[in-house]
Structure 1
């Protein structure tokens, strides 16, 4: 009889993860992503691997990006409780482990027609995760996957999670922003929605952009917003690191505004794309050390 004597991984070892954008040979907002990653690891009770510090993780991410020889793409990294048995307890795991990869996919600018067309979303019937779990970017992505599959089954692009009080939360892996008729941009609070790094950066940049004359928007608020109020918005858009801004033109059977992509969403998308571009003196970018590891100049 054949028998396996190797140590098998647990079916679902506790794991947290995050993703940083690789743009023009620089990592955009890596430190902000890494701080959230470490906070989530502590919440999930996953210790750092023995002998590995947060600074060593940061260096590993930069060196992995360099080893890929890619100038643009994404760096995804995980912290897992590690190999173990088939039980629930992390005590069965041999020790935590850190993993990092670089991957690429279609560049958003290659899909400009999709941004100009906008997405259709639906109110998701999938129950939202409890606030504690919503705030941890972990491998518990079954609700997120079911949200998206439900939406796609009915020919929508994304589903929107709603809390028990009927308030808008987030999409399966992006935040939501709603521009009201009076020019107020409302972002749902980070209670049952992930504290998205990109949407936080957007809210940080917008006051100066508004003061400089950005059209159609007067202020930014973070508060609860009901599905009904969201549907009556002049504009709705989704915010995420890989988008970074995607206009929404229909919610369930309701057209948003006049049913076309709004000018504010496009202005904010341009603002975010500009901010992602590497520039001298930027505190949002870390240069990848290609030359040190690969001989690239």
Structure 2
């Protein structure tokens, strides 16, 4: 019996990596024994960055606004990090106006943000009015001229379990990104994505699970295109990897795919309203949402991506086939 037990123990130990006293390793992992040394290392990294891309962040961990990028971190045990249990949204901010400063469509984006959090079963510890105040004060504290404001609601930090029921509370984070943007005028090429699109349950909420979106973008770049187009299982046009797509037919109709299986983009909703003015001017005959097949879409007169920082990006070729006359 003793011999059998010893053999079993050896087999068990063989499954574990052990570091013996005499082992020599070329790579040594540094152990930070004080927070001051760790902060010094973080500041060293950011001191090499000429322009700080993130001028301000709000974190529920600190309970306030942070201006030091070295401290703009979130807990590793936050369920948004290791389980993808979180939602987010992005808005354009402009503090460069002569007579105003604004966050573009704050109410519309916050409404969608809270709808997404409800679908994801995450309750905000702050009421809507407080979220609005935090975002406004964060934009002001950043002191940037132009940029975007991205914010997240997470199930919260506390453990590495699958269920968040034992977590103390949800967590809210927001960051200002210093980036200039203007109307995109140069046309791009796209492809039809072979990466499966998310199911309507997940594609209609703005959640942090963007792996399919990332893979769709990478697939396009590997093929020399800007981005991709998702087509649903019925053969109808859906959306791009992180943008809506819209078309103008040769009959002068402005068409956006139905929103039942895709994200209801705030920018494209605004564009649908603005396009009605072109109907009044006689430049368009109609503005509507509809199902479009790939054949119908590729034969359109114009095609475009629509998103917050674009806001409209002309698409001049799809799967190497020119759209319209192939010009913007």
Which TM-score band (shorter chain)? 0.7 to 0.9
String of CA shifts for 1:155-178, please: whole Å, max 9, x gaps: 000111110011110001110111
String of CA shifts for 1:32-89, please: whole Å, max 9, x gaps: 000000111011000112xx21100000000000110113111111100011322221
Q: CA deviation at 1:208?
A: 2.2
Q: SS of 1:74's equivalent?
A: strand
- Whole-angstrom CA distance in 1 between matches of 2:142 and 2:321: 45
Q: SS of 1:178's equivalent?
A: strand
Q: 2:227 aligns with which of 143, 158, 170?
A: 158
Q: 2:312 aligns with which of 245, 258, 263?
A: 245
1:70 paired to 2:144: yes
In the alignment, structure 2 segments of 5+ residues that lack a partner are 1-18, 20-30, 32-74
Check conservation: 1:16, 1:137, Cα contact below 8 A.
yes
1:231 paired to 2:298: yes
- Structure 2 equivalent of residue 86 of structure 1: 160
Q: CA deviation at 1:132?
A: 1.1
1:1-297 correspondence runs (5 A): 8-10=77-79, 11-23=82-94, 24=96, 25-49=101-125, 52-108=126-182, 115=185, 117-213=186-282, 215=283, 217-261=284-328
Check conservation: 1:151, 1:159, Cα contact below 8 A.
yes
- Whole-angstrom CA distance in 1 between matches of 2:194 and 2:156: 33
Q: SS of 2:259's equivalent?
A: coil
- Whole-angstrom CA distance in 2 between matches of 1:92 and 1:154: 45
- Structure 2 equivalent of residue 275 of structure 1: none
- Whole-angstrom CA distance in 2 between matches of 1:159 and 1:124: 5
- Whole-angstrom CA distance in 1 between matches of 2:235 and 2:178: 37
- Whole-angstrom CA distance in 1 between matches of 2:255 and 2:147: 30
Greater Cα radius of gyration, structure 1 or 2: 2
Q: SS of 1:36's equivalent?
A: helix
Q: CA deviation at 1:13?
A: 4.5
- Whole-angstrom CA distance in 1 between matches of 2:304 and 2:78: 40
> Normalised by the size of structure 1, how large is the TM-score?
0.80
Check conservation: 2:78, 2:154, Cα contact below 8 A.
no
In the alignment, structure 1 segments of 5+ residues that lack a partner are 262-297
- Whole-angstrom CA distance in 2 between matches of 1:230 and 1:83: 44
Check conservation: 2:181, 2:310, Cα contact below 8 A.
no
- Whole-angstrom CA distance in 1 between matches of 2:250 and 2:136: 44
User: RMSD value over aligned CA atoms?
Assistant: 1.9
Q: CA deviation at 1:242?
A: 0.7
Q: 1:66 to 1:106 in 2, by over 3 A?
A: closer
String of CA shifts for 1:3-42, please: whole Å, max 9, x gaps: xxx9833412511100111023211100000000011101
Q: CA deviation at 1:129?
A: 0.5
- Whole-angstrom CA distance in 2 between matches of 1:179 and 1:9: 44
Higher relative contact order (CA 8 A, sep 6+): 1
